[in-house]
Amino acid sequence: MPEPLLLTDLRAATMLPGGAAYGVIGDAAIAIEDGAIRWVGAARDVPGDLADWPRRGLGGRLVTPALIDCHTHIVHGGDRAREFEMRLEGASYEEIARAGGGIVSTVSATRAADEATLLKDALSRVDALIAEGVGCIEIKSGYGLDLETELRMLRVARRIGEVRPVTVVTSFLGAHAVPAGEDADRYIDEVCLPALEAAHAEGLVDAVDGFCEGIAFDTAQIARVFDRAAALGLPVKLHAEQLSHMGGTALAARYGARSVDHVEYASAADARALADAGSVAVLLPGAFYTLRETQAPPVQAFREAGVPMAVATDLNPGSSPLGSLLLAMNMACTLFRLTPEEALAGVTRHAARALGLRDRGEIRAGLRADLAVWNVETPAELSYRIGTNPLHTRIVGGQS
């Protein structure tokens, strides 16, 4: 571990709930020891036993928790630029999927790629996120739809966390799509569930995800996957209510899901169910934007019910080829009417909760020293600016 360090001459957006907006401490100091935050507060109040620690001045810059992208499909083969053209020519997401495009086309490209190729391509996307202050990335499988490729994707995801200074959280997404010509129920029983068992046995799974939608799986099929996850002691999350209302949100809430993602067609009753379950609503404006959707998530219902709202890129080759979490924050404000403070909480405190991580997402004593240092005057600038990257540096696990 590096020697203890006292960061000074900074403004800290601690993102602690309650109190000042963004939890801002104006003239602040942050003490780091053994990769964790030892103390944070006003510079004038630095405890005496820390006063002689080595210091690093940050030139009055803003410090936030390092950002967290809590929903990505960053490991995949190929691209779907042609489908982008098709959508602009009038084809819908469902029409493309039913014609053999969409997720199924990425499945073919991913099956054809070896681990080295998948890793090389994924790292270029990961590096772009790291360059924007991201310290933690969730990565899903789901473009294999067979045992071998699902495991390959998860191995690559684990490898990313070994070769880059970023925490990787994995989600098994075998219930992502029905392979061409397959029966959905047979696929769940004979491919998805055995792949889940194998991935779990290899230590590759942190959570279990699914896609509950008319072009994917219904609630009964997802329930079978969730039952197996529960038997393995794994938490669940779900893509739900993206294109229609199928009851996925209510189902996920009954299983105590860590998060339910997309949720454009969720209802006020769904919001109350999420609140009761302690689940996070993950908003994915990149997919909303790319698919030119018009049904926005019920943000006001989430606010009224007290549902935490996270924001993520949903980085994938088809419906959200979005490699910027800062842009996702701006989109969440512009398209979904989040406030800049809600957007920043959505990529820090609430994103950590969506991944079940209790050791990050805020700046307070005892948490990991995962920090982002910005060349901005106010936290709102992180959501306000479009196409710029004001990151000065990252500090991850106490190291920059």
* Binding site per annotation, positions for N-formimidoyl-L-glutamate: 143, 316, 318
CA angle 330, 334, 339 (to 5 degrees): 75
CB atoms within 10 A of CB 45: 11
**231 near 180, Cβ under 8 Å?**
no
- Burial (CB < 10 A; 0-12, 13-18, 19+), residue 292, is exposed
Please enumerate, by residue number, every residue annotated as part of a binding site. 71, 73, 80, 143, 176, 239, 242, 314, 316, 318-319
Alpha-carbon distance 203 to 100, whole Å? 32
**DSSP category for residue 72:** B
Question: Widest CA span of the chain, in angstroms?
Answer: 69
**143 near 153, Cβ under 8 Å?**
yes
Q: Which residues contact 266 (CB under 8 A, 6 or more apart)?
A: 240, 241, 245, 249, 260, 274, 281, 297, 298, 301
What is the chain's length? 400
Rg for the chain, CA atoms, rounded? 21
Strand (E) or helix (H) holding 32:
strand 24-33
Please enumerate, by residue number, every residue annotated as part of a binding site for Zn(2+). 71, 73, 239, 314
- Residue 114's Cβ-side half-sphere holds a number of Cα atoms within 13 Å equal to 1
Please enumerate, by residue number, every residue annotated as part of a binding site for 4-imidazolone-5-propanoate. 80, 143, 176, 242, 319
The full DSSP string for 239-304 is: EESSSS--SHHHHHHHTT-SEEEE-TT--HHHHHHHHHHTPEEEE-HHHHHHTT------HHHHHH
Please enumerate, by residue number, every residue annotated as part of a binding site for Fe(3+). 71, 73, 239, 314
- Burial (CB < 10 A; 0-12, 13-18, 19+), residue 217, is buried
The full DSSP string for 93-151 is: HHHHHHTT-THHHHHHHHHTS-HHHHHHHHHHHHHHHHTTTEEEEEEE--S--SHHHHH
